Structure formats: structure tokens, C-alpha cells
Structure 1
Amino acid sequence: MSLQTTGPAGSQAPDPWRYRWTVLGVATFTQASSGFFVGGIGALGVHLQRALELSTTQLGLLVSAAQLVPLAGLLVAGELLDRHSERWVVGIGACVVAVALGAGSLAPGYGALLVALLLVGAGYSTVQPGGSKSVASWFHASQRGFAMGIRQAGLPLGAALASAVLPLVAEEFGWRATLLTGGFVALLGAGLFMGCYRRPPAPAGPFDREPSVPLAAQLRARLRMLREPSAVKIMLSGTSLISVQTGVGVLTVLHLHRTSSVDAGRAALILVASQGAGVVGRICLAAWSDRSGAGRHGIVLVCMVAVIAGLAVLMTPAGRAPVVASGVFVWLGFFGFGWYGPWVAYVAEAAPPGKTGFALGLAMSVNQIAIVTVPPALGLLVDLTASFTPAWALLCLLTVVALSVTAVAERRTR
């Protein structure tokens, strides 16, 4: 992928592929803006519990509500992305997020807020696979991991900004104003993506739209994808690490506030630091996967080992000390959020030609099962036991099992 092309008269004309950096910036911003409010729910935990008289389980259900529709929506979005331009699929989805959050600011209570967040999830279904496919189609394999890492850093970046801003908005104007803020930010992302994105100036390639083939053949091809050895590694590593990521996002502030006696404001800042570490992790780990002899999934395995170590510390008496707990959450932010960059690049490259959108949608929809079920399950464990240790133990066990199975699959593949 050269940086210059030769014009008709032999002069050097600007290379159209340079626009890939604009596409990367736009996709990253849209990712951050669409997930802004939901990413900040964890930092709003103390405020929402006071204002709406919520249990930890109910707080976890708010996160699950925003992720429920994508269980099926990601598959639908993947099919749409294989047939239509990312500009409109992603842009319209981000608009739905903005409208749903605006409507949610008028919710009379907890039940109506849950419904609004269900609609947020419907819109968000297109943003994750759409943004990933747009970046994958613009970048060569030698830079794809790095680019995907930057793009995937949009999620913890948006969550970190939300964790810093939304508690201040809630203190000053109330929880309803936080939804309006999130809706406005999502609308900015939708407008920018629809206004700036365009398809790459490339001949037909592995990330182009799916060719016209009979429906029965398409279904057979999709079933074959599920039997591939790479699918086992994708599904297990993704669900275990997304469970850790979700648990850290929801429970960090509550753990620090209740167990380590850190006030809510300072605990939210530690969550910001954890999510900021996730931004760095997604970029650095993905860039490492471009050059590592262990391959992209080898880096994911490293993240799983690091996550197990961090969770083990949280279960010890040292994990209740404010300094130690804060350091562990930053560690978990780097590895427990950073895994997503190399993981998504691996999914995109493992997909059959013409089925990148579906492969991304399928992998992300499997992750959604964990995203939907883990927050209320962890919240229920905390409510029943009055302790965070069982919650961290469950996440640690899930990761250990997934690491064992995927490490064996990795050796067999090699």
C-alpha cells in the first residue's frame, strides 16, 4: 500500500489510501460516542442507586438491558454490512442510540429506563461490527492490528470520558441530564460517520461485500464457520474476557467505595484510570500482535494469564487495601480491556472472503451472551454474600477454564 501514486503526466498524486487514517479517526470517535453513556453506568452506580433506590443486581440489569438486543441484532447487522455501505448501517444505528437516550431522559422510573436502554442496544448493534469492518477493509494486514487496536480503543476511551464527566453532570443536574448528554454525544458520532466515511478505492478483496449466492449455500457456509478450530478460540476467549471487562466496568467503583472505603468521586477517577489503561492496552497489544511470532491469538492468551493474576490479588486481603486495589484495577484495565484489539483483528482475518461482517457479528453476538448475563449475576452474588470476593472468583474461574481449552486449541492449530 504505497503512499504515492503517479498521475497522468508522471507527477506524484496524493495516494487515496491515505484517507484510511481519516476513516480510522471517524470510526474510533463513533465507537466512543455511541458507547459513551453505557460505558459510564459503572461510574454512575452510587448516584443511580441513591436516586432510584436500586440494588446492585438492578444496577447490573441496566447494563444488560443495553446489551440484550445485540444478541440477535449483531447477526442482523453483520448481514446488512455484507450487503450495504457501512456509512448508512453504522450512521443510522448511532442515530437510534441518540434518540433512545433522549427518550430515556424522560423515563418516569426504573422500568421505563430499562426499555430505553433496550432501544439503545438495538442501535448500538451496528456500530461495533460496522466500525470494525470499515477499518479492516481500509488497512493492510501489516497495519491492521494496530489500526484495529486504535479503533477498539474508542470503547474504553468513551467509557473513561463518561466516567469522568457523567458523575459531575449527575451531581449538578441529576441523572436525567446524563442521558441527554449521552444522546448528544452519540448524535455527533452519527453525523461525523455519515458525513466522512467512504469505501476504500480497492478492487474486490476479502473484506468486500458478499457475492450473490443462493441462500442455502450461504447457510451452509455459515454453519461451516462454526466448526472451524479458530471458532473455538474466538468464542471461548471472547466470552471469558468480555465477562471480566464487564465486571470491572460495573463493580470497580462499588468495590473501592465499600471494601476499600474510597469515596465515590475518587473511586470514579480510579475507574477512569482503569479505562484509560484499557485505551493504551488496546493500541499497544494490537500493535504487538502485528509483529509477534505468537500470532494475534497468542497475545489474547497473554491477556488471559494477566487477568487471572489480577483477579487473584483482588480475592486476597491485600485486594482490600486502597493502593493495591487501585493498582490492580489499572492492571485489569490494560489487559482486561486491551485484549479486544488483537482479538477483533484475529476474527476479521479468520473470516472467509466476503463474510467478514457476518463473522464479526457472530463473534460479537456470542460475547453479548456474557455481557447480558454477567452484570446481574455478579450483582446478585454481591447482594447475597455482602462481599465482592465471590464475584471476582467467578470471573477468575471462567477465565481459567477458557485459557485451558483455548491454549490446547492453539497448540493443535500450530
Structure 2
Amino acid sequence: MLACLLLAQLLVAFIGRSVGPLGVLIGEDLELSKSQIGMLPAALFLGQAIASIPVGFVVDQTGSKTLLLLISLCVGSSFILMTFSHQFGFVLFLVVIGGLGYGAMHPVTNRGIIHWFQRTQRGFAMGIKQTGITTGSALAGLVLLPLAAMYGWRQVVAAACLLLIMGGVVSYTFYHDSIKETNQDKKNLASFYGSMKHMVRNKPLMLVSISAMGLSGSQLCLVTYIVIYCYEYLDISLFLSGVLLVISEICGSIGRIVWGIISDRLFKGKRVIILMIISGIAGVTSMILAFLPPSTTFGVMIPITMVFGFAISGFNAIWMNVASEVVDTTFSGLSSGFSITLGSLGVITLPPLFGFIVDFFGSFTAGWIMIVGVMILVFMLLLLLLLEIKTRAAY
């Protein structure tokens, strides 16, 4: 079951997250500014924000099986259509449609993890499943970027979409929902509004979700701009710049597993402190990037991107667990969707803002410093969350 969830998550991310590494080529093709390139991942996560809550509610009622196939069809079809468009506005619209499926996959697969695994196993299992996102993004940089540079991004993306659709069929064929999912009571629309009120009034859920705005947005800034930063500012070749993106995403995949194991075994399921450590590491590495000289070599960038990716791309599984565990398990799909929707606001706003700041100042320094400021705010919010959880535990 975990393999099915991982396959679906990986292939959807392989297509959806390709707008980051392929941004430089799409930008050249459509003659886009840095800010407009930043709007591509923002459009993806706008779709995620729209879909996450309603899909979270639906998956709580229906289970994950059928939705795995429908989501794969949604993302694959929209990105195939995108390869035929030469209008930036229509490309953005289709990326939003693809984002509906990309965002829907999170609560659907999270729901499967929560119901198939016990609490002391979920950190590791969620970490494995969430590596599908960073691995998909890494593969987009490793496979799609060089192929797109040779054959054109349109042909390569269209072929990859067919692979996604076939993967969706495989996941649908072999996955089945747990007994706990299929035996639970169904809820009507009125109960949806009641459940939403419960989400909004849950202070720990709100705090972790707002923190995720900064963490998710900063992660996408790294994914979207690290290739452009290395290619244009550090004068590293496009291929090696793509390799650095792959390195950061591979380390993010490792981080999602390692952070999950650490939270399970060393902290006994206490995961907020892990998010605080991650925000601290991300802030320090972003400060280093802000002041690197233009003569910085590929070899120097390797350890920096490794640490940055391990932290900022490795937080996701911990976040998903916290968002699911601060509510009753019957709301795990909805709480994931609710938290993802709020977290998506950061991804919608921060990459274009990062690009605007770089365009305005004519330098990447101000953009990386902005990320440092965001990490400081996130750390303070997580400190409040930690205190809130301890207060509730005392009662």
C-alpha cells in the first residue's frame, strides 16, 4: 500500500514540480521575467490551495483508491494541454488546473498513511511517502531538464505526462483502502461546515499551518531559483546548475526519512522541535547564499545545497504528521487539506515576491535575505506552537 501511495505521489510531483527546473527554458521560450517565472510554481500551488480542503473532506468519506486515478488524469491531461500553448496566461491557467490534482494528492495519500500505520510508525512511513515529492522534483531536474534542453520542453513534458497517467492506472489497480476507512460513517455537507469550524478553532493546527506558509514558500524559492541563481549569477553551466537542484532534492528526500526517524525514535513523536531545527538550518544556509561571491565554484555549492535541501525540502513529512495528529484521526484527511491550503499561500506568494525582489534590486542577495527573515518568523511561531502543545498536555 505504501508503494502505491509513493508511486502516485512521485509521478504527480515529477510533472507538477517540473515547472521549477524547467522554468528557465519555459521563460526563454515565452520571454518571461524572473517574477513571471516565479508565477509558474505559484500557479501550481494556487491550484493546490483550492483543491486541498474539499478533497480532504471527500477522501475522509470515500477513501483514497479512486482518487489516485482521477488525480493522475487531472495533472497529466492539463500539462499535456499546456505543451500546446504559447500564451503565458493560458499556460498559467493550465498549471492551476494541474495544481488541483497536485494538491489533491497530498490529503489523499496522507489519509492512506494515517490509516495504514500506527503513530510510532507514521513518521518513517510519511517520510517515505513524502520522498515522492522531492524525488519527483529531482528527477525533473535530472531527466526532464537535460532532455528538454536537447529536444524542447514541450515534447518532453508531453511524454512524461503519459508516464504519469500509466502510473495512476497501476496505483489504482493495486491499492485498496483499509478497513478503518471503509467502515466509518459518512458525513453530509452540514457536517463539513462543522468540521471546518473545528479546524479553524484548533490553535495548534493553525500555528503549524501558518508556519508551513514560510517553510513551503521558501522551499519553492530554492527549487525555482537555484538553477537560475547558479546559471546567471555564479556562471555555472545549465547542466551543472540542474545537478545542484537534483542534489538539493535528493537530500530533501533523505531529510524527509531521516527527520521522520529522528522524530519517531529520539523524540517519541514530538515533532515540533524538529521543525524548529529545520527552520534554523534553512535560515543559516540562506544567509550564506546571500553573500556568496560570483566566483563561487560548483564544488563549493554542493555542500551548501545539500544542507539547504536536507532542511527546507525535508520538513514536509513532519509538517503532514503534525497537521494530522493535532486532530482526531477521523479528520486526518480534512486537517491535511486545511493545513496544505494555508501552507500553499506561502508558495503562491513567496516565489513571485522573491523574483520581484531580485528584479528590483538586480541581485539575488536581497532575495536570500528575505528567506532568512521568513525563517526567523517561522521559528517564533513554532515556539508558540510548542508552548501551546505543552499547555494542552498539562491539562
**Structure 1 length as normaliser, TM-score?**
0.89
| 3-state DSSP of counterpart to 2:185 | coil
Q: 1:43 to 1:34 in 2, by over 3 A?
A: same
**One-letter code aligned to 2:286:** L
152, 162, 171: which one pairs with 1:184? 162
**Cα distance change, pair 182–67 in 1 and its aligned pair in 2 (3 A):** farther
Q: What amino acid does structure 2 have at the position aligned with 1:310?
A: T
- Give the one of 114, 121, 126 matched to 2:92: 114
Q: Residues 193-342 of structure 1 correspond to what in structure 2 (within 5 A)?
A: 193-201=171-179, 204=180, 211-212=185-186, 216=190, 218-293=192-267, 295-317=270-292, 321-322=296-297, 323-342=299-318
CA distance in 2, matches of 1:187, 1:406: 38
Query: Retained in 2: the 8 A contact 1:237–1:402?
Result: yes
- How far residue 123 of structure 1 moved from its aligned partner, in angstroms, is 2.1
Residue 82 of structure 1 aligns to a residue whose secondary structure is helix
The reply to whether residue 155 of structure 1 matches residue 129 of structure 2 is: no
Summarize the Cα distance change of 1:320–1:234 in structure 2 as closer, same or farther, 3 Å threshold.
farther
Judged with a 3 Å threshold, the aligned counterparts in structure 2 of structure 1 residues 106 and 223 are, in CA distance, closer, same or farther, namely same
Say if 1:208 and 1:354, in contact at 8 Å, map to a contact too: no
Per the TM alignment, residue 133 of structure 1 is displaced from its structure 2 partner at its CA by 0.9
* 1:408 Cα deviation from its structure 2 partner: 2.9
Does the C-alpha gap of structure 1 residues 214 and 278 become closer, same or farther in structure 2, counting only changes over 3 Å? Answer: closer
**Structure 2 letter corresponding to 1:78:** G
d(CA) in 1 for partners of 2:73, 2:82? 14
One-letter amino acid matched to 1:227? R
Tell me the amino acid that sits aligned with residue 89 of structure 2.
Answer: G
Moved more, 306-315 or 113-122: 113-122
Mapped to 2, the partners of 1:325 and 1:154 lie a distance apart of 24
Q: Is it true that 1:348 corresponds to 2:309 in the alignment? A: no
1:64 matched residue in structure 2:
42
Aligned counterpart, 1:128: 106
In the other structure, the counterpart of 2:393 is none
Distance (whole Å) between structure 1 residues aligned to residue 260 and residue 310 of structure 2 = 12
Q: 1:216 to 1:185 in 2, by over 3 A?
A: same
Maintained 8 Å contact 1:211/1:354: no
- The CA deviation string for residues 274-318 of structure 1, in whole angstroms up to 9 with x for no partner, is 100011000111111111337111111111111111111112245
User: Aligned match of 2:380 in 392, 396, 404?
Assistant: 404
1:12 is matched with which residue? none
Pair 1:95-2:87 in alignment? no
Contact 1:36/1:185 (<8 A) preserved: no
Question: Do the aligned residues in 2 keep the contact of 1:80 with 1:89 (CA within 8 Å)?
Answer: no
Q: 1:34 aligns to what?
A: 12
**Stretch deviating more after TM superposition (154-163 or 336-345):** 336-345
Q: Which amino acid aligns with 1:234?
A: V
1:371 equivalent in alignment to 2:347? yes
Deviation, 1:28, is 1.0
The answer on whether the counterparts of 1:232 and 1:409 sit within 8 Å (CA) in structure 2 is no
Measured at CA, do residues 257 and 337 of structure 1 come closer, stay the same or move farther in structure 2, by a change above 3 Å? same
Shift of 1:24: 0.9
Deviates more, 1:72-81 or 1:104-113: 104-113
Secondary structure of 1:338's aligned partner: coil
Question: Structure 1 residues 399, 84: closer, same or farther in 2, change over 3 A?
Answer: same
Q: CA–CA distance in 1 between the matches of 2:128 and 2:293?
A: 34
Give the conservation status (yes or no) of the 8 Å contact 1:90–1:126. no
Q: Is the 8 A contact 1:82 1:208 kept in 2?
A: no
Q: Look up the equivalent residue of 2:210 and give its one-letter code.
A: L
Supply the distance in 1 between the matched residues of 2:191 and 2:78 (Cα, whole angstroms): 37
**How far apart, in 2, do the equivalents of 1:117 and 1:412 lie?**
38
Q: 1:319 to 1:25 in 2, by over 3 A?
A: farther
In the TM superposition, residue 365 of structure 1 has moved relative to its aligned partner by 0.6
Partner of 1:358: 334
Larger helix percent: 2
- Count of aligned positions: 388
Q: Which moved more, 1:245-254 or 1:383-392?
A: 383-392
**In structure 2, distance between residues paired with 1:69 and 1:125:** 7
Tell me the distance in 2 between the aligned counterparts of 1:411 and 1:66.
34
Cα distance between partner residues in 2 of 1:175 and 1:215:
42
Residues 269-278 or 44-53, more deviating: 44-53
Identity rate of aligned residues, in percent? 23
Give the Cα separation in 2 of the matches to 1:282 and 1:34: 18
Shift of residue 268, structure 1, vs aligned partner: 0.4
> How far did residue 171 of structure 1 move?
2.3
Q: How far does residue 355 in structure 1 lie from its aligned partner after superposition?
A: 1.1
Mapped contact 2:235–2:294 kept (Cα < 8 A): no
Cα 1:319/1:333, change in 2 over 3 Å = farther
Where in structure 1 are there 5+ consecutive unaligned residues? 1-22
The answer on whether the counterparts of 1:307 and 1:335 sit within 8 Å (CA) in structure 2 is yes
Q: Which amino acid aligns with 1:190?
A: G
2:250 maps to amino acid: G
Q: Which amino acid aligns with 1:321?
A: T
